[in-house]
Amino acid sequence: MSASLGKALQILTRLGTGPATLDQLAEAVGVHKTTVLRLLRTLADDHFVFRDGHHRYHLGSKVFELAGRGLEQREVVGIAAPHLAAFNRAHGRTTHLCELSGGEIVYIDKLESYDHVRMASRIGLRAPVHSTASGKVLVADLPAAERDRVLAGVSFTASTPNTITTRDGYLAELALVREQGWARDREENETSINCIAAPVRSASGRAVAAVSVSVPDIVLTYDGLLELLPSLLAVTDAISRDCGWQPGATIPRGRPA
């Protein structure tokens, strides 16, 4: 599998220099045409390559989609930084910026709380999508087909007694997240830690990141954490606008009954 992956990457790298025929790709990769053709068919199925009417192969739409996402994700950290710093100064709570990576989230920025309690999270650390507020926000925004692909790899393992452990239960939670525009983790990922999160949107309107606020219940109650929700939504809106998002219809938001 690793050898095939390496050859597929070589094909994509070669096509990055321009269109190529099957013979040219076989020569560039150094394997028989039948092997290259098999790899091309797999890549074409997922839109990483396509063949034109002259039997030449080109980079496909999926490559450009991923490149655009990568650019957005690199940019969002810098765009969000001053907004997150101001939010953190105003409220003094642990603040994270996260992105989706398969069936997990990855912390791409973190600002520590002003109290003496420190979270175990760190930049680069991964966490499950089903038990985190940021994971719920990011998965809830996915198109149905992409959401199903992500959830196919989620085991719904319980991190605490409050963790959602079924697909149906998680889908119901995602519906609520889409309706209200934010998500919660009420001691679902770590005992005694509550969290709320809201999406950061790119110019396309797609959620490219999530901002979350996490607080131990010995420092602030869950109801106290919810009082930060208007400020959280304001800061994610500000970051999103700086990322080029221009909201159209109002997204329903508010505290659940």
Instruction: Kindly list the structural domains of the chain, giving each domain's residue range(s) and its CATH number in brackets, ordered by start.
Output: 2-59 (1.10.10.10), 65-242 (3.30.450.40)
Q: Count of CB atoms within 10 A of residue 98's CB?
A: 29
pLDDT category, 113, cuts 50, 70, 90? Answer: very high
User: Rg of the chain's alpha carbons, rounded to an integer?
Assistant: 21
Task: Determine the residue type at 65.
Answer: E
C-beta separation of 40 from 25 below 8 A: yes
Q: What is the pLDDT of residues 115-172, one digit of tens each?
A: 877 777 888 889 999 999 999 999 999 999 999 999 999 999 999 999 999 999 999 9
pLDDT category, 73, cuts 50, 70, 90? Answer: low
- What's residue 215's pLDDT? 95
- What's residue 71's pLDDT? 56
Q: Looking at the predicted structure, is the pLDDT value of residue 1 above 60? A: no
DSSP label at residue 20: B
140-145 — which CB contacts under 8 Å span 24+ positions? 140/174, 140/175, 140/177, 140/178, 140/183, 141/178, 141/199, 141/206, 141/207
Q: What is the pLDDT of residues 5-49, one digit of tens each?
A: 889 999 999 998 889 999 999 999 999 999 999 999 999 998 899
Q: What is the pLDDT of residues 192-217, one digit of tens each?
A: 999 999 999 988 899 999 999 999 99
Q: For the purposes of burial, counting CB atoms within 10 Å of the CB of 198, is it exposed (0-12), middle (13-18) or buried (19 or more)?
A: buried
- pTM comes to 0.70
DSSP label at residue 229: H
- What's residue 254's pLDDT? 42
